[in-house]
Structure 1
Amino acid sequence: MHPDLERVLIDTATLQNRVQALGTAIAQATVNAPELVLVGILKGSLIFMADLMRSIGREVCYDCIAVSSYGASTESSGVVRLNKDLDLDIAGKHVIIVEDIIDSGLTLKYVHDLLLRRNPAALEICALLNKPERRNVNVQVDYRGFDIPNEFVVGYGLDYAERYRNLPYIGVLSPRVYTH
């Protein structure tokens, strides 16, 4: 375990098993969709989306969108900014937004509404982590990995100030790291 963590919340094996189950569920639910597009929200969803894509077991296109609301803080600013838009045209396609964590819901609602205006045939959400007690905006999550408590987590793509993304598990960051 990394020394900046209080504890491991979700270990590597548990993560991989759940990602595989999510991929299987998506494959079954989209079997009749002619074109499936995953849209990852950068940077946090990158590792999750790569593993998820491999676990779906059918042809999948993907693209990424970059938005920000955190910066180097542990709290969302409440203002979502688009930093990188999609390269793919998603009109008429079955699109699944892939998100690492849903906290307030503001970022995900922003991305969902933005993509919905582009006329996909279907628009769903797949989130690895969900913090229901932090929700400010209601969002419909179609595929959910884990509900977690209101703690600041890192690893498996999630960061604090661009650190800890490479950890192969989800851990609770010690407050001593971000309160000084």
Structure 2
Amino acid sequence: MNNDIERILYTQSDLDSRMDEMAAELNVKYKDEEPIVVPVLNGAMIFASDMIKRLNFKLTIDPIKASSYAGTQSTGEVKITQDIKSDVKDRPVIFMEDIIDTGRTLQALSEVMKGRGAKSVEVVAMLDKPETRVVDFHADYYGFKAPDEFLVGYGLDYNGLYRNLPYVGILKHEVYAK
């Protein structure tokens, strides 16, 4: 697996340090609230798990599964394939996402939660890739700006593989150009 990586962008230590900083901000903001934390599966599962362990306020965890990708390309259409079970009415919602790429998925999911009466909707993303944005959407908190490369590791995948790498790296072009 490691041989398929062109280079490592963010080590586990880099990710841990930045998550500590983001969690400190969230702990202040939500200390008197009980938000619903919504990991966007499957990609955000590792990041969300590590972030949630750093949060010291009461919260509900309720994952959602949504997709707008086929292989390496965005289809432009967002589909919720597994919805949350919680009632978001008058509660803050915090999405946890691995990467904001085109912005379509999180924009659509945020609108759904606002339409359901969420008190507020915020997005915490491990990575932000603004060069590939096709809609006007920005994370409230993000770990790092990511280059316009095919990234894997720490939840990010290529065809379901590489999610378990303990870092974020650039996948060699020849691996996905086949």
Q: If the length of structure 2 is used for normalisation, what is the TM-score?
A: 0.96
1:164 corresponds in structure 2 to 162
Query: SS at the partner of 1:9?
Result: strand
The CA deviation at 1:59 is: 2.0
Q: In the TM superposition, what are the counterparts of 1:60-79 in structure 2 within 5 Å?
A: 60-71=59-70, 73-79=71-77
What are the Cα deviations for residues 49-81 of structure 1, in whole angstroms up to 9, with x where unaligned? 11111111222211111111113x212111111
* 1:123 counterpart = 2:121: yes
1:112 corresponds in structure 2 to 110
The CA deviation at 1:19 is: 1.1
1:55 corresponds in structure 2 to 54
- Separation of aligned partners in 1, 2:157 and 2:48: 16
2:14 corresponds in structure 1 to 14
What are the Cα deviations for residues 66-97 of structure 1, in whole angstroms up to 9, with x where unaligned? 111113x2121111111001111111111111
- Separation of aligned partners in 2, 1:138 and 1:32: 30
Preserved contact between residue 128 and residue 139 of structure 2 (Cα < 8 Å): no
Greater shift in the superposed pair: 118-127 or 158-167: 118-127
Q: In the TM superposition, what are the counterparts of 1:81-96 in structure 2 within 5 Å?
A: 81-96=79-94
Query: SS at the partner of 2:144?
Result: strand
- Separation of aligned partners in 1, 2:116 and 2:77: 22
Aligned partner of 1:49: which letter?
Answer: A
Structure 2's unaligned 5+ residue stretches are none
- Separation of aligned partners in 2, 1:132 and 1:165: 22
- Separation of aligned partners in 1, 2:140 and 2:42: 21
- Separation of aligned partners in 1, 2:29 and 2:35: 11
Query: SS at the partner of 1:56?
Result: coil
The CA deviation at 1:17 is: 1.0
- Separation of aligned partners in 1, 2:133 and 2:32: 33
Aligned partner of 1:6: which letter?
Answer: E
Structure 1's unaligned 5+ residue stretches are none
Count the aligned residue pairs. Answer: 178
Preserved contact between residue 53 and residue 60 of structure 1 (Cα < 8 Å): no
What are the Cα deviations for residues 118-150 of structure 1, in whole angstroms up to 9, with x where unaligned? 111111111110011111011131111100110
Large movers: runs of 4+ above 2 Å: none
Q: In the TM superposition, what are the counterparts of 1:126-141 in structure 2 within 5 Å?
A: 126-141=124-139
Preserved contact between residue 89 and residue 117 of structure 2 (Cα < 8 Å): yes
Q: If the length of structure 1 is used for normalisation, what is the TM-score?
A: 0.95
Percent identical residues: 38
